[in-house]
């Protein structure tokens, strides 16, 4: 662990980024060539004082989740992300975990979508990062980590996960999720996360076992979905995908279906924010 070097590395990465690169206003009278400390703290979701201590090399050892948030805020490449973890004395997070590396270009596109709900997920349906509009539409991510945080896993093990979709659509989503998982299984080969997920689901869900035994395979590229929002009610949206080169990550974004009242409803998302989901959890 080298906190002094870590602080210097954070400063060097902060200096190279313009506010416009990460969707922040430039503003007048900027005294630094790149981002301000408070802007990095905002992007990473940490307090300004905590981030200042990190740059000074005097802070406590940051967690895996904190390092991942900083890597995304500073748009680090995979090599730079790995170096950041090494300086902090932390092992690299497993591929596909919530702290996994997200390509900077994918992050930039997500933030440039503005008020359009968008998020980056793995091919096992673990949510890596989402913009405020996606959080308002879909709710916050679960508190669990690893492949148990997968929406696909929760679909078969947590009845509350299915409340996002109308009951009459559940059968089609079940078929699609299992077929997409089989495509991911083939792509990942002997990946332990896939084996563990399939084993756990086979033991816990007869419904999953039945569909898995059918050997259907389909790479889920786009959908027209119906979602149930706790305040806005039924929404009809187009779910579009952009895939990483290895197929293990995908940027999802949601647009209202033309000719439906979902256009007006989605415009209310920025007003509602996550207050409805927060009230449900309190």
Give the DSSP per-residue string, 59-82.
SPPPPHHHHHHHHHHTT--HHHHH
What is d(CA 158, CA 174) in angstroms, rounded to the nearest whole number? 13
Over its C-alpha atoms, the chain yields an Rg (Å, rounded) of 20
The closest of 93, 77, 152, 75 to 121, measured between CA atoms, is: 152
User: pTM (2 decimals)?
Assistant: 0.81
Q: Do strands 127-130 and 118-122 pair parallel, antiparallel, or not at all (unpaired)?
A: antiparallel
| Per-residue pLDDT tens digits of the chain, which is 282 residues long | 778 899 999 999 988 888 777 777 676 666 767 888 988 998 888 999 999 999 888 767 888 889 999 999 999 999 999 999 999 999 998 877 778 888 888 888 888 888 899 999 999 999 998 888 999 999 888 877 788 889 999 999 999 999 999 999 999 999 999 999 999 999 888 888 899 999 999 999 999 999 999 999 987 666 789 999 988 999 999 998 888 877 788 999 999 998 888 988 888 887 776 555 455 444
Read off φ and ψ for residue 213, nearest 5 degrees: -70, -15
């Amino acid at each position: 662990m080298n906190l002094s070097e870590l602080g210097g590395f954070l400063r060097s990465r902060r200096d190279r980024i313009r506010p416009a690169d990460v969707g922040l206003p430039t503003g007048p009278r900027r005294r630094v060539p790149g981002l301000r400390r408070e802007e990095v703290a905002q992007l990473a979701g940490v307090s300004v004082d905590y981030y200042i201590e990190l740059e000074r090399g005097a802070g406590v050892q940051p967690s895996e989740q904190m390092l991942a948030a900083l890597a995304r805020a500073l748009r680090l490449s995979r090599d730079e992300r790995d170096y950041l973890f090494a300086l902090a004395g932390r092992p690299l997070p497993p591929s596909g975990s919530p702290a996994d590396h997200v390509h900077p270009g994918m992050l930039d596109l997500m933030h440039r979508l503005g008020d359009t709900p968008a998020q980056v997920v793995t091919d096992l349906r673990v949510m890596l990062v989402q913009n405020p509009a996606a959080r308002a539409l879909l709710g916050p991510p679960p508190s669990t980590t690893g492949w148990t945080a997968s929406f696909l896993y929760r679909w078969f093990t947590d009845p509350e996960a299915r409340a996002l979709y109308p009951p009459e659509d559940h059968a089609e989503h079940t078929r699609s999720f299992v077929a997409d998982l089989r495509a991911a299984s083939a792509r990942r080969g002997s990946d332990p996360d896939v084996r563990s997920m399939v084993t756990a689901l086979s033991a816990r869900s007869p419904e999953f076992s039945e569909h898995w035994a059918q050997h259907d395979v389909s790479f889920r590229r786009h959908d027209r979905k119906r979602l149930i929002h706790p305040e806005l009610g039924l929404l009809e949206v187009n779910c579009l995908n952009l895939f990483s080169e290895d197929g293990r990550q995908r940027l999802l974004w949601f647009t209202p279906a033309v000719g439906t009242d979902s256009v007006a409803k989605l415009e209310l998302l920025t007003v509602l924010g996550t207050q409805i989901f927060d009230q449900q959890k309190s």
